[in-house]
Amino acid sequence: MKLLVTGGGGQLGRSLVRRAGAHTVIALPRSQLDIRDASALTAALAAHAPDAVINTAGFTGVDAAEHAPALASEVNAWAAGLVARACAERGVPLLHVSTDYVFDGAGARPITEDAVPAPLNAYGRSKAEGEQRVRDAGGTVVRTSWLFAAAGPSFVHTITRLALRDREIRVVADQFGRPTWAPDLADALIALAAMPERPPCVHVCGDGATTWHEFAAAIVEGVRIYRPIACERVVPITTAEFATPARRPAYSVLDTTLARTLGLPIRPWRLGLARTLAEELAKEIGR
């Protein structure tokens, strides 16, 4: 199977290359394929003739989107539609990666695929619009959450840096979600691409709901395995105490029942965290 990956320079694109196995993964970074360029999309599909396309490209700055909503919409909505239509015209299946931030997080139960999006911020609105354009063209939306990997910026990298530098880290404890290790998501995307039929939307994320505070505490404990650190306490705070330009959902835990039914890998996020620290952070902190 040959897969064409847009946004191939990101942590998910790199993970797809690493997890390709017997498959061929052509991961094109933005410098080689700007998804806003319809003619470039058509040319890439013609040149590579993929069996499926995985769109990981996007404007991912949640707070930055508040200051540049038009750009976020251009990339996450309009351009996602271009990708979907280009794939539909050639009969190529499309998997489009989206986010838990399309929801307002007002509930207290895991969110299923048929829940109606109600985003709280510009980033979420742009992704929700992109989802609709993809589904209208017959593509599959794959929602995930709190993505991290050994390579590339992520919450894991941020907390690791702070743990080495600061005695105390203050982290929000009233926002719930599911951290997702990028290689696990890559495995699921490859498995989905190989299926003869796919649902219009599926949730793929790590097993186990948690808070940013609990996630941070696990990172600190993991880093401590490799060397002494400065951090003595991870202090829980409320969202109100940590103001950000973009509002975040309080409970964006995605339901993964459908993914499990499809046989997709839904593994505990703590396993992915341990692998991340062992693979990359050990080198960064001098061991």
Distance of CA 5 to the CA centre of its chain: 14
* Cross-strand partners of 234: 169
Q: Encoding tokens for residue 27?
A: 């991961």
123 is catalytic: yes
Q: Which of 101, 123, 226, 251 is catalytic?
A: 123
Q: In the structure, what pLDDT confidence band is assigned to residue 284 with cuts at 50, 70 and 90? A: low
CA 95, CA 201: separation in Å to the nearest integer?
9
215-273 pLDDT, tens digit per residue, is: 999 999 999 888 788 888 999 999 999 989 999 999 999 999 999 999 998 999 999 99
pLDDT given at position 283: 66
pLDDT given at position 51: 96
CA 267, CA 81: separation in Å to the nearest integer?
31
Q: Domains in the chain, ordered, with CATH?
A: 2-150+180-209+248-268 (3.40.50.720)
111-123 pLDDT, tens digit per residue, is: 999 999 999 999 9
DSSP assignments along 167-178, one per residue: SEEEEE-S-EE-
123-176 pLDDT, tens digit per residue, is: 999 999 999 999 999 999 999 999 999 877 889 989 998 998 999 999 999 999
- Rounded (10°) angle between helices 212-224 and 155-165: 60
